[in-house]
Amino acid sequence: MKCLVTGGAGFIGSNVVAAALRRYEVVVLDNLASGFRENLRSTSATFIEGDILDRDALRKAVRGCDVVFHLAASVGNKRAIDNPLEDSKVNVLGTLQVLEACREAKVRKIVASSSAGIFGELKRLPIREDHPVEPDTPYGASKLAAEKHCLAYAKLHDIEAVCLRYFNVYGPNQRFDAYGNVIPIFAFKMLAGEPITVFGDGEQTRDFVSVHDVVQANLKAAENVGISGAFNIGSGARITINALVELLGAAVGKPAQVRYGPPRAGDVRHSLADISASAAAFGYKPVVDIASGLKEYINWARTEKVPA
């Protein structure tokens, strides 16, 4: 079987590529705006440097593919608030370009990366797939629009579409980025001996899920025939940001220097995924606990250049 991974040089995409190569012929399409060629240095994947907004590059990349893992995206609430037009251009129009290329190439299935950001401020926990979707950032709105386009194509055309709603993903190949996940920001600052800033009181909770479990979800969603729909992908557990800081301190080997700042716009107070639907549909079962996952991540981060 042959597959395309859009955004395959990025954090989650490169981990999907590494696992997919054990069973598929893999093509990667990435414009390297936020991905890194070095994430693919040990792989035999065919690499095409190109943009999902480029029809010709997409048609070349998707030719002969059975499955498309669509991970190319503009990611993060702050990035979207700062650049809402770019966010929608990539996440909405880019996804439509991918879907059109899939339709033309007669791809069997698309597995698209969505986000828990589509839910907005939460009304109940744990979050099931039928929770109201009221995104309160441009990022959440663009990911919801992309998800709806995927599911509409599954109804209109001969293609299956699975949208995976990621919660807070972390793991190897996730680099420091002020727009990104709290774990790399904290980890790299702590490794550099710098103080970290916790926004709010630190008692807000998050469902952190290892990238290895996210990869498992992508492959299982691709390989189970006859399934379309949107599914939560998290760990099914949550911890406070204060507890996360303690676990990171244990992994680093020294406690963090913590400063507290005002809450950030667009941040929800609590988050926890109900993952029973993905378990029932395609056998998703997270296996990496947060303490072990953070130790692995810190070991990887030590090999990276700590940002100045």
* Overall average pLDDT of the 101-113 stretch: 98
Smallest CA-to-CA distance from 282 within 232, 231, 236, 224 is with 224
43-100 residue pLDDT tens: 899 999 999 999 999 999 999 999 999 999 998 777 888 889 999 999 999 999 999 9
Average pLDDT over residues 16-39: 96
Name the DSSP letter for residue 38.
G
pLDDT at site 178: 57
Q: Residue 130: what pLDDT? A: 97
- Position 43 scores a pLDDT of 84
pLDDT tens digit string along 241-258? 999 999 999 999 999 999
The predicted pLDDT at position 308 comes to 43
pLDDT of 280 above 60: yes
SS3 sequence, 186-218?
Answer: HHHHHHCCCCEEEECCCCCEECEEEHHHHHHHH
Mode of pairing for the β-strands spanning 205-206 and 239-240: antiparallel
**Tokens 């700062």 belong to residue:** 82
CATH assignment, 2-167+209-235: 3.40.50.720
Average pLDDT, the chain: 95
* Mean pLDDT, rounded, for 1-25: 97
Closest CA to 140 of 180, 92, 176: 92
pLDDT at 217: 98
Most distant CA atoms of the chain, gap in Å: 55
Residue 259 CB neighbours (<10 A): 10
Q: Averaged over 269-290, what is the pLDDT?
A: 97
Residue among 139, 166, 284, 297 flagged as catalytic: 139
**Strand extents, DSSP E, the chain:** 2-6, 25-30, 46-49, 67-70, 109-115, 160-166, 168-170, 196-199, 205-206, 208-210, 229-233, 239-240, 258-261
Please confirm, yes or no, whether 24 is among the known catalytic residues: no
65, 27 contact by CB (below 8 A): yes
pLDDT score recorded for residue 180? 64
Residue with the bigger pLDDT between 236 and 307: it is 236
Lowest mean pLDDT, pick from 247-261, 274-288, 293-307: 293-307
CB 272 within 8 A of CB 125: yes
- For residue 305, name the pLDDT band (cuts at 50, 70, 90): low
Using one digit for the tens of pLDDT, what is the confidence trace for 153-205?
A: 999 999 999 999 999 999 999 998 755 689 999 999 999 999 999 999 999 99
Q: Please state the rounded mean pLDDT for residues 119-136.
A: 94
pLDDT in tens, 215-229: 999 999 999 999 999
User: Which pLDDT does position 96 carry in this prediction?
Assistant: 98
Preceding amide of 126 cis, omega within 30: yes
Q: Is the pLDDT of residue 213 over 90?
A: yes
Given a cut of 70, whether residue 307 has pLDDT beyond it is no
Q: What is the pLDDT of residue 80?
A: 83
